[in-house]
Amino acid sequence: MRRAILLVVAAAIITAGCGGGDADTDTCDGIADRFIETTQRYVDRVDDLTEDEIATLQGGIDMPGWATAFEEELKGFGVRAAEASCSFETMSELIDARLDGLAAQTEAGRYFISLTPETLGWYLGN
């Protein structure tokens, strides 16, 4: 399950980072804010999973389209951070300062949140 969740998280970073830039998300703070917003959307989606869907994610096979899209979104934050000249250390600090804002309703969602600080380097390409 851990690997599947990590893949989904990474996907979310990529997709959120892609797309047209705007002033608010072209700063290190803006990128960190979007990272947290995107992660919360993912946690909300994980909270809504059925037991069968959780089993699919745990198996790491046949990842659902939303999970793959989320992984791509999350990876994009690393690209945006690099384009904005935000160091890994800066982004780690900014995101870490915002992690307490994440909330989950289920065990799977809480587990996902617990992985977030541990896997920042992977999310941001360090």
Structural domain boundaries of the chain? 2-121
In whole angstroms, give the CA distance from residue 61 to residue 96.
Answer: 30
Tens digit of each residue's pLDDT (9 = 90 or more) over 93-102: 998 899 899 9
Q: State the DSSP H helix or E strand holding residue 72, giving kind and residue range, or none if neither.
A: helix 65-83
The DSSP bridge partners found for residue 72 are 14
Q: What is the reported pLDDT for 126?
A: 57
In whole angstroms, give the CA distance from residue 46 to residue 20.
Answer: 27
C-alpha Rg value of the chain to the nearest Å: 14
Q: What pTM, to 2 d.p., does this model score? A: 0.71
